[in-house]
Amino acid sequence: LEKDPKQEWYESIRQAGVVATIPIMLGIGPVVGLYLGKGLDHLWSTSPIFSYVGLVLGFLAAIRETYRIIKQLSKKK
Amino acid sequence: MLFESVAWAAETAEHGTEAAHHAEGGAPHILNIIAFLQKLFPDSHFVHFLHQHENILFTVFCAILISFFCWLGARHRQMIPRGLQNCIEMLFEGLDKFVCGIIGPKGTKYTPFVGSVFLYILINNLMGVVPLMHSATSAFTTTLPIALAVFFYVQLTGIRELGLGGYLHHLVGSPNDLIGWMLAPLLLILHVIGELARPLSLALRLFGNISGEHVLMAIFMGMGVAITGVIKVPAPIHFPFLFLGLLTSFIQAFVFSLLTTIYLALLLSHEHEHDEAHGNDQHKTEQSLGITEIN
C-alpha cells in the first residue's frame, strides 16, 4: 500500500521534531542537575558532592525524558 | 586586483551597509522598522524607547494581527464556510486533528492552548522574513516566557486532571509495589530535573534556531550589498535563505507545539492508565462480590 504523501510529510516533520529534541534535552538535563546540585552545595557547604550527584542525575533524567518522549510519539492512537 | 575588491567589499559590508549591521557589540541583525526609525531620528527619546522595547512591541503586534484575522474570520459565521472563515476553520481542524492524533479524543480540550502557542510562534517567526519586520522569537526573553507558560499549563493540567494526590503519585513514578516505593525518591529527583529541563530546552531550541537563521540572513544580506557595490548589479544572495527561513519558522512552531502536546499526553496517558487500573480494580471487586454483569 502506498502512503499518503501528506501523511508522509507530516510523519517526517514529526520525526524531525523528535530528532531536534534529543540533543537539546540531553544537554540541558545535566546543566539543570548541575545547577540544582550547586545550589544544594552552597546551602549545605558540601561542595562539590551535590554538583557531581546533580550532574549524573541530570544526565539520567535527560535520558529518561528523551525515552518517554520517543515512546509517547511512537504510540499509535 | 581581486584581493583589493574583496577587501573593499568587506569594508563596505562592515561600514556602509544598512541591511545588516552589528548591534551594540552583538551579532549582526536585519534592519527593522524601529531600528530604521532610530537611524532617522537618533536623538528622539520616543524612538529610543521604542527601540529598547522592540521585542515587546513586535509580539504585541503579532497578537493583534492574529486576533484581528480571527475576529475577521468569525465576524459573519455561516454554516457553509467561505473565504477567511473557511481558511480559519481548516486551520483549526488541522490543529485539532494534530492534538487529538497524539493525545486521543480527549485532546480537543487542549487544542485552544496548543493552537494558540503554534499560531503565536509561527506568526512571530514568519515576521522575521518580512522586510522591516522583526521576529521577537529570536530573543530569549520572548521564548522563555512562552516555554514557562507551557510549563505552568502542563503542571496545572496535571493537578486538575489527576488531583493533588495523583499528581504527586505521578511525580514519584507511580509506584505500585515495594520496589517502586523504594525507588520513589530517586525517581522524584529525576522527574523534577526532567520537568525543569523542559521549559529551558523548549526556549533554547526556539531562540537558537530563529536567531541563528536571522544572523545567517543578515550576514548574507551584508555580503550581497557589498558584492552589489563591486559588480554594480543587485546581488540578493540571501534569497535562498528566505525559503530556509520559511521552513525553519514552520518546523520550529510545529516542534514547540508538538512537544507541548507530548508533555500533556504524558500526563493524560498516566491518567488513562490510572483510570484503567482503577477500572480493573473495580472489576475485580465486582467479580469477587459476584455482581458481574451477565450477558
CB contact under 8 A, A61 and B204: no
Q: Are B260 and A69 in contact (CB under 8 A)?
A: no
Q: How many CB atoms lie within 10 A of CB B9?
A: 20
Burial class, B252, CB count within 10 angstroms (exposed 0-12 / middle 13-18 / buried 19+): buried
Q: Which chain A residues are closer than 8 Å to B190 by Cβ?
A: 57, 60-61, 64
pLDDT in tens, chain A (77 residues): 566 777 777 677 777 777 777 888 888 889 999 999 999 999 999 989 999 999 999 999 889 888 888 887 776 54
B133-144: pLDDT as tens digits:
999 999 999 999
Contacts of B7 (CB under 8 A, 6+ apart): none
Q: Testing the interface with B: which of A60, A65, A74 to mutate, by most B Cβ within 10 A? A: A65
**Which whole number is the average pLDDT over B230-248?**
87
CA dist B119 and B122 (Å) reads 5
- The mean-pLDDT minimum among B31-35, B103-107, B269-273 falls in B269-273
CA dist B101 and B92 (Å) reads 14
pLDDT at B276: 54
CB contact under 8 A, A24 and B201: yes
* Dihedrals phi, psi of B106, to nearest 5 degrees: -75, -10
CB contact under 8 A, A72 and B198: no
Q: Which chain B residues are closer than 8 Å to A62 by Cβ?
A: 193-194, 197
CB contact under 8 A, B205 and A77: no
CB contact under 8 A, A73 and B200: no
pLDDT at B257: 93
pLDDT at B13 over 50: no
**Which whole number is the average pLDDT over B149-172?**
91
CB contact under 8 A, A77 and B104: yes
- In chain B, % of residues over pLDDT 70: 82
CB contact under 8 A, A69 and B194: no
Higher pLDDT, B283 or B77: B77
B194-220: pLDDT as tens digits:
888 889 999 999 999 999 999 999 999
pLDDT at B80: 85
pLDDT grade for B180, boundaries at 50, 70 and 90: confident
ipTM exceeding the 0.85 mark: no
**Which whole number is the average pLDDT over B258-265?**
90
pLDDT at B207: 94
Q: Could you say which residues from 197 to 216 on chain B have a Cβ atom under 8 Å away from some Cβ of chain A?
A: 197-198, 200-201, 204-205
B43-56: pLDDT as tens digits:
999 999 999 999 99
pLDDT at B25: 56
Q: Which chain B residues are closer than 8 Å to A58 by Cβ?
A: 193, 197
To the nearest 10°, report the CA torsion of B14, B18, B20, B26.
70
Q: Are B245 and B107 in contact (CB under 8 A)?
A: no
Task: Provide long-range contacts, Cβ within 8 A and 24+ apart, for B18-27.
Answer: B18/B225, B19/B218, B19/B221, B19/B222, B19/B224, B19/B225, B20/B218, B20/B219, B20/B221, B20/B222, B20/B225, B21/B222, B27/B211, B27/B215, B27/B218
Mean pLDDT of chain B: 83
Mean pLDDT of chain A: 82
A38–B contact, CB cutoff 8 A: no
pLDDT at B178 over 70: yes
The interaxial angle of helices B54-74 and B33-40, nearest 10 deg, is: 130
Nearest CA in chain B to A69: B262
CB contact under 8 A, A57 and B190: yes
Asked if the bond preceding B240 is cis, omega within 30° of 0, the reply is no
pLDDT at B92 over 80: yes
Instruction: Cell numbers for A49, please give them.
Output: 558532592
Angstroms from A33 CA to nearest CA on chain B: 6
To the nearest 10°, report the CA torsion of B23, B29, B34, B35.
40
A34-56: pLDDT as tens digits:
999 999 999 999 989 999 999 99
pLDDT at B289 over 70: no
pLDDT at B222 over 60: yes
Q: Which chain A residues are closer than 8 Å to B258 by Cβ?
A: 14, 17
Partner-chain residue, chosen from A25, A60, A73, that has the shortest CB–CB distance to B190: A60
Angstroms from B48 CA to nearest CA on chain A: 36
0.90 cut: is pTM over it?
Answer: no
What is the DSSP code string of B216-280? Answer: HHHHHHHHHHHHHHHHSS---TTHHHHHHHHHHHHHHHHHHHHHHHHHHHHHHHHHHHHHHHHHH
